Amino acid sequence: MDSWMAHLSEAGYRITTPRKAIAEALLDAEVPLSAYEVLARAQACHQQLGLVTVYRTLDLYEELGLVCRVHLKEGCHGYVATTPGHRHVLLCQRCGRSVEFAGGGDLDVLVADLERRTGYRVRDHLLQLFGLCPDCRRVGA
C-alpha cells in the first residue's frame, strides 16, 4: 500500500483519497475484482467515490504495473478463426494479422513446474502473444 503510493509519487502522480481507497480494496482482495466490485469495497474508505474514478485509477495502476487485467474468459472482444487443436495466437500489433501455434512442450514444462511449486492443478490456460509480423518489422512500426 505504502509502496503503491510511493510508485504514484515517483511517477509524478498525486496521492489522493480515492487512489488510497482503491489500492486498499485491491490489496485486501483475495480474488479478482470487477470495476464495480472495486467501487463497492473502496467506498468503505471513501463514501462518495465514483465508478469513473475507479476505471481511471485501474488504468493508471495497470500502467504502473501494479495491477493486471485478468480476462475472466467471458464477455470480451475480438475473434479469429483457428484450426481446431491450435489454441494459441500470435498477433501483429500493427496490422492485426495473426499466426496460430500449438501449445508445445515448453509451455507444458512451465505448467508442470508451476503445479509442483504451487500445488495448483492447471486445467486450462490463455496464452496470447503480441508483436510485429515480418512485414511490419520491415516498415518500422
Query: Could you tell which of DNA, a copy of itself, none binds residue 44, using a CB distance below 5 to 8 A set by kind?
Result: none
Grid cell 490463455 — which residue?
Answer: 126
Residue range at the interface with a copy of itself (CB under 8 A); choices 11-19, 25-33, 42-50: 25-33
By CB under 7 A, is residue 15 in contact with DNA?
yes
Q: How far is the CB of 25 from a copy of itself (least distance, A)?
A: 9
Interacting residue with DNA among 1, 3, 29, 55 (CB under 7 A): 55
Q: How far is the CB of 55 from a copy of itself (least distance, A)?
A: 10
Residues whose CB is less than 8 angstroms from the CB of residue 62 and which lie 6 or more positions away in sequence, other chains included: 68, 69
Which residues in the 82-111 window bind a copy of itself by CB under 8 A?
Answer: 82, 84-85, 87, 89-93, 95-99, 101, 104, 106-107, 109-111
- Could you tell me how many residues make up the chain? 141
CB 58 within 8 A of CB 38: yes
- Quick one: cell of 99? 499466426
CA distances from 27 to 44, 93, 111, 118 (A): 14, 32, 26, 20
By CB under 7 A, is residue 74 in contact with DNA?
yes
